[in-house]
Amino acid sequence: MADFILALDQGTTSSRAILYDTAARPVEVAQKEFRQIFPQPGWVEHDAEEIWAAQREVMLQLLNRLQGKGTVAGIGITNQRETTVIWHRKTGKPIYHAIVWQDRRTASYCEELKKAGHENLITQKTGLLLDAYFSATKIKWLLDNVAGARKQAENGELAFGTIDSWLVWNLTGGQQHLTDVTNASRTMIYNIHTLQWDDELLDLFDIPASLLPGVRSSSEIYGNAHITDNRAIPIAGIAGDQQAALLGQMCIDNEMAKCTYGTGCFLVMNTGATPVPSTHKLLTTIAWQINNQVTYALEGSVFMGGALIQWLRDGLELFDHAADSEKHATAVEDNGGIVFVPALTGLGAPHWDASARGSVFGITRGTTKGHIARAALESIAFQVNDVLTTMAKDTGKPVHALRVDGGATANNLLMQFQADISNIPVSRPRNLETTALGAAFLAGLATGLWDMETLKTQWQEDREFTSTIDEKARNQYQQRWQKAIDRTKGWLD
């Protein structure tokens, strides 16, 4: 019997490896950052070979620390999604840097496609909005701009992959070219209903099918990682980061949602076996496939989460540490009538107004920095609540449990206000590293180390926040917020 699961958490700024024991407790962690490359305004690249080297290094560090203490049953991979790599099948060398999800170089091409009326078809098939985030237009850009690439692709000499594929290729010494359904569902060329690469979309984006990896479930043995000459470990789980977090939070039932409160806030709601289309520009995506069962999800995000607290700290210099926001906010009795609309980069779901800009309403001579800090924290919860309400509208069912993770969940005032304004229980787990945990769960399931019943007991709550305000107070808060949102829209001419 093996004693450990190894999770590889390949994020946007660092590659991490975490070793879990049979009770899914993290026992060893290693992390290495890699370069962010900004060749032009709006362009963001990574060196795929550097990502692999960093991932390999942290993985080897953990395996060396493990010497003699036990064996690893399997590897689970979770990764930054949408980031696009194309490499030579023969040499394994990338043809260009990886184009990162944040990269906007194909935004004007996406606008052209929108004008030509292609968005509906894309949304129907992929559940996504036509946007430069997703892999399709990045692949096209590489084929059109790297000398000789299109010809080589047509000859079957090149392979495309999201970062999971790139890692699996390297871990298996070029034996396996595959991805899982969650990563495929972020490429904008994968049909989430038929579970196949979509020929019509491949034509639209001019992408040869010979580039594409095989698409597999999120939990199965894909092949062996040959890490050192004498050690082969099965690769047994793959999921994109947000989906892995949904599983790591054990949101395995319909209408359970997780929210990660980091720089932005990322919400994902389990919608079960049915893909739910959004009429409010949320994304429909695949949560995971375990055995033959595909589970779908709705996804929405908030641009300014912890970033708003960073701005109060670094831009306004209101305090020295993000955690001080709670101290100042609890030093006042209430928000003093202040409403903060953090539209610093426009308003996202469900308002979608790129011309809105941040505003603070209700300032009087009595306003203090405590009131501003409190209103800022409340505004994070209001925005998350707007996405939750939108998810409820799209699915016709309210979210009945919210599980939270990310740096800003340390803020108890924020978590309490979230429970108050959303009127649902907000649960913060003991283990906040839910992304890596989800990848470990997938690998543990495939290798038979765990089953779903065991996993349920492995998710443990640190604290649950429930509403302390009544419906009348909730409505008052909500009306004020809505009024402030209305006055913030359309600021730029």
Give the binding site for ligand ADP (CB under 6 A): 262-263, 306-307, 309-310, 322-323, 325-326, 406-408, 410-411
Q: Which is nearer to ligand ADP, 183 or 435 (CB)?
A: 435
CB count within 10 Å of CB 416 equals 18
Closer CB to ligand ADP, residue 233 or residue 349? 349
Closer to ligand ADP at the Cβ: 321 or 365? 321
Residue 254 or 330: the one with the smaller Cβ distance to ligand ADP is 330
Q: Would strands 339-341 and 219-228 be described as parallel, antiparallel, or unpaired?
A: unpaired
Burial class (CB in 10 A: 0-12, 13-18, 19+), 165: buried
Nearest distance from residue 312's CB to ligand ADP, in Å?
9
Give helix 412-422 / helix 369-395 axis angle, nearest 10°. 40
Question: Which CB, 210 or 310, lies closer to ligand ADP?
Answer: 310
To the nearest whole angstrom, how small is the minimum distance from the Cβ of residue 264 to ligand ADP? 7
Nearer to ligand ADP, 80 or 289 (CB): 80
Q: What is the DSSP letter of 488?
A: H
9 vs 131, beta carbon nearer ligand ADP: 9
Q: What is the smallest separation between the CB atom of 402 and ligand ADP, expressed in angstroms?
A: 16
What Cα–Cα distance (Å) separates residue 78 from each residue in 65, 139, 155, 276, 285?
22, 21, 31, 24, 16
Closest CB 55 distance from ligand ADP, rounded Å: 18
Closest separation between CB of residue 238 and ligand ADP, Å? 21
C-alpha 76/C-alpha 9 separation (Å) is 8
Shortest spacing between CB 406 and ligand ADP, in angstroms: 4
CB-nearest residue to ligand ADP: 407
Residue 391 CA to residue 400 CA, distance in Å, equals 11
CB of 299 to ligand ADP, least distance (A): 16
Please, where are the H alpha helices in 30-106? 48-66
d(CA 189, CA 209): 10
Structure tokens at 225: 């990682």
Map tokens 């009306």 to a residue: 479
Distances (CA, A) of 218 to 164, 221, 243, 434: 11, 10, 10, 16
Residue with smaller CB distance to ligand ADP, 57 or 314: 314
**Nearest distance from C-beta of residue 382 to ligand ADP, angstroms:** 15
Mind giving me the DSSP string for 189-247?
SEETTTTEE-HHHHHHHT--GGGPPEEE-SEEEEEEEEEETTEEEEEEEEEEHHHHHHH
Q: How far apart are the first and last CA of the chain?
A: 65
